[in-house]
Amino acid sequence: MNTSELLSRLQKDSRSISNADISLARAYAMEAVEHVPEPYKTIYSSDYFIFLYESFLEIRKCRPDEIVIREIDPADYEAALSSINEKNDPGDRKRDAMNRFISIVHIYLTFIVKKPLHPVGMIFPGGLKITEDGIFYYCPVKDKQTETGISFCEFCICKNSEEQ
């Protein structure tokens, strides 16, 4: 499969996400950080969800001639989908909605537009941020999050900030 074919698939899948699903996903994002202190609570919920939603809207309006056509490694693609599906709980409507939403957005960011899974400039504890140098993206927590079992960092295109 190539990026054009994947974009077409993601656009089709995006049409199955209703406004109610988006509301449930947003509620999940808000609840997931309810015990996190400010300003991180807002950054990891509202701000991050806005980034995801804007990426979702970008998918819906993206035209195949706006992307670079390249082959997608089937093993990497299946591993990313499997990781997302492993974190799902169909019995939890909010989490299920969030995972379906993320399965579209994260795949788009990772395989089609090659962007980080968090917005550039997003602040992490200690004041560290996701940065870019015009060629690569860097994340200050990539190597700390890949083994938590809840993140998708292993699929993010960011390099560890220490590689800068």
Angle between helices 48-61 and 93-107 (to 10 degrees): 60
Whole-angstrom distance, CA of residue 146 vs CA of residue 141: 9
Q: Name the residue ranges covered by the structural domains of the chain.
A: 1-115, 117-164
- Would you place residue 112 in the very low, low, confident or very high pLDDT band (cuts 50, 70, 90)? very high
Tell me if the pTM is above 0.85.
yes
pLDDT of residue 24: 97
The answer to whether 131 and 138 are in contact (CB under 8 A) is yes
**How many helices, marked H, and strands, marked E, lie in the chain?**
7, 5
DSSP state of 163: G
Helix/strand/coil for 72: coil
The answer to whether 68 and 3 are in contact (CB under 8 A) is yes
The answer to whether 117 and 142 are in contact (CB under 8 A) is no
pLDDT digits (tens, 9 = 90+) for 29-82: 999 899 989 888 999 889 999 999 999 999 999 999 999 999 999 999 999 999
- Would you place residue 25 in the very low, low, confident or very high pLDDT band (cuts 50, 70, 90)? very high
The answer to whether 140 and 122 are in contact (CB under 8 A) is no
